[in-house]
A and B are shown apart, each in its own frame.
Chain A
Amino acid sequence: MKHWTWMLFTRSLRTSFAERAAYRGDFILSFTVSFLLELITPLVTLLIYNAGTSFPGWTMEEALLIQAVFLLARGIAFPLFFGMVWIVFDQAVQGTFEITLLKPRSPLLLTMLRGIDIEGFSRMLGGILLVAFTVNRLPAPPLSGWLLFILFVSLSILILFGFALILAASLFVWIGNARVIELMESILVFSRYPGTIFAKPLQWAFAVGIPLSMIALFPAEALLGRFSIQMFFAIPASLVFAGAGYLFWNRMIRRYAGGGG
């Protein structure tokens, strides 16, 4: 990473923090609520298991591990990448994205840095705590499991980056559509549950089509020592998905007409 990129990154973090620190009460509340909001899916899982049933082939701790990994990956990707969706949303509506285009740095990097959302890091904190809590209640994974986990979580963050690029890029032409995030959430819901609940063709679609299983299921399975052939097909699929997101961003940014304002 070039020196100025790092400088821009640290300054963006500081600015984001300073901006939110102006309203400290609201910041603390938002920080806490972002974390609590992500606990809804684990809570539903807990209630399902407390009702005396289960996801076939998965204990409660194992199912919770998937959701913990999801929270961790989302906790890293959302504060870093998804703010840019709202930056493009605002600037496309106001017709001010030209200012970003005129700056002598990559528009993608600038948009991403401007969108850093400091309060979203509470999700990452929640993810780390929940992963630690569930792993502690399961047999200790071997070193190879942890290494594979790190690789898969990196791919998971890359996939979420791909989603952020696709959503942000779509707003260059689909001006002012605040609901694109909802669209993504409705897709991501399939990545929070054990793969065994889905039909076989769908399991393959989530491994090699849109690699949703790489977001949380496969990293969790790596820790649990469960391996499947789909996992290995999902590695190139994840790279292709992120690459497609980048290509889409580049194609759409050329179609930005600056019609707002």
Chain B
Amino acid sequence: MRSIRSSLKTLRAVAFVTWKEWAAYRSHMLLSLVVGPAFFLAQVFIWHAVFAGQETLGGFTLEGMLLYYGASSVIYYLTMDFADWNLQMLIRSGRFLTYILRPMSHRFFAFSQKVGHRMLGFVFEFLPVWLIFFFVFRIRLIPAEPVWTLISVALSFVILFLINYSTGILAFWMTRTDGIRALIRLLRDLLAGVFIPLSFFPEAVQKVLFFLPFQFVSYVPVRVFLGSYELGGVAIDIPVIVAIQAGMVLVMLLVTDLLWRLGIRKFTGAGV
């Protein structure tokens, strides 16, 4: 109990410092007020055009499709992170040495930083963009299952962090990780349903996605937000898919742990 309380205290302290650090760049975050709605506007035109004369596409109505992209945009502001870039930069420059000398796990430190960074994102990105969607596009981004959505977004927050952190760990083996990080990011966003709902993919591909962590980053929380989940012809109840998502968090924790144990042996502190 005492260790949990101490961890929470550390998390709060690191998150607060990160908040203060990034608050200096809040004007950069405010760019999201243009970027998010501009991408969404493009989706509005695209889907209005392709839905002409069609009732449903890929299991979505036009309204459902716009809700999908709207929810996907705002959930991204809650879960986004760059733990992979951060970790590889620390390892490559040798600055990582200072972190392994600290009496706390770097993974937990990086996670706490993400919490602080995204709290700032909640204020400067999520809320304003949500309001723009509501008042300008008339998209009512109200979750069908608020409690389950909250849990699912929280789990997606953790899964995205763990995927990115695992990618960052690869820097223990490779001097330059730009290529591998870009490849994983591409696969992650494509197979998470960021570009197009996964129900548009061939059915065989959809089935494979059950065994990968990517759909739990965006597709699952968005479908939970919409109130129904279906992939590869399989409809799953919301509590069940959220439980599977929680299982994926455990799997990713193990993967990160394993990669960490293997990778840390390779660290030489070169570049310090």
Residues of A within 8 A of B (CB): 23, 25-34, 36-37, 40, 43-44, 47-48, 50-56, 174, 176-180, 182-183, 185-187, 189-190, 193-194, 196-199
Known contacts A36-B186, A40-B195, A51-B200; decide if A197 and B46 are in contact (CB<8 Å): yes
Q: What are 6 A-B pairs at a CB distance below 8 A?
A: A33-B179, A37-B182, A43-B190, A44-B196, A50-B200, A186-B38
Sample of 5 further A-B pairs with CB below 8 A, known A25-B174, A53-B57, A177-B28:
A32-B179, A37-B182, A43-B195, A52-B57, A180-B31
Report if B25 contacts A (CB, 8 A). Answer: yes
- Say yes or no: B178 contacts A56, CB within 8 Å: no
- Say yes or no: B179 contacts A183, CB within 8 Å: no
Residue on B nearest A194 in the bound complex, by CB: B49
Report if B52 contacts A (CB, 8 A). Answer: yes
Report if B34 contacts A (CB, 8 A). Answer: yes
Q: Least Cβ distance of B138 to chain A in Å? A: 16
Q: In the complex, A64→B135 CA distance in Å?
A: 34
Other-chain residue from B28, B48, B50, B178 in contact with A54 (beta carbon distance below 8 A):
B50
Q: Least Cβ distance of A185 to chain B in Å? A: 8
Q: Least Cβ distance of B173 to chain A in Å? A: 11
Known contacts A40-B195, A183-B34; decide if A189 and B179 are in contact (CB<8 Å): no
Known contacts A53-B57, A178-B28, A186-B39; decide if A193 and B50 are in contact (CB<8 Å): no
- Say yes or no: A186 contacts B195, CB within 8 Å: no
Residue on A nearest B42 in the bound complex, by CB: A189
Report if B176 contacts A (CB, 8 A). Answer: yes
- Say yes or no: B200 contacts A47, CB within 8 Å: yes
- Say yes or no: A56 contacts B186, CB within 8 Å: no
For residue B17, which residues in chain A have a CB less than 8 angstroms away from its CB? none
Report if B269 contacts A (CB, 8 A). Answer: no
**0/1 interface trace, chain B 44-56, chain A, CB 8 Å (1 if under):** 0110111110100
Known contacts A30-B179, A182-B31; decide if A47 and B201 are in contact (CB<8 Å): yes
- Say yes or no: B195 contacts A23, CB within 8 Å: no
Q: In the complex, A53→B62 CA distance in Å?
A: 13
For residue B178, which residues in chain A have a CB less than 8 angstroms away from its CB? 26, 30
Q: Least Cβ distance of A39 to chain B in Å? A: 10
Report if B177 contacts A (CB, 8 A). Answer: yes
Q: In the complex, A25→B173 CA distance in Å?
A: 12
For residue B262, which residues in chain A have a CB less than 8 angstroms away from its CB? none
Known contacts A37-B186, A51-B57, A53-B54; decide if A29 and B179 are in contact (CB<8 Å): yes
- Say yes or no: B179 contacts A197, CB within 8 Å: no
Report if B183 contacts A (CB, 8 A). Answer: yes
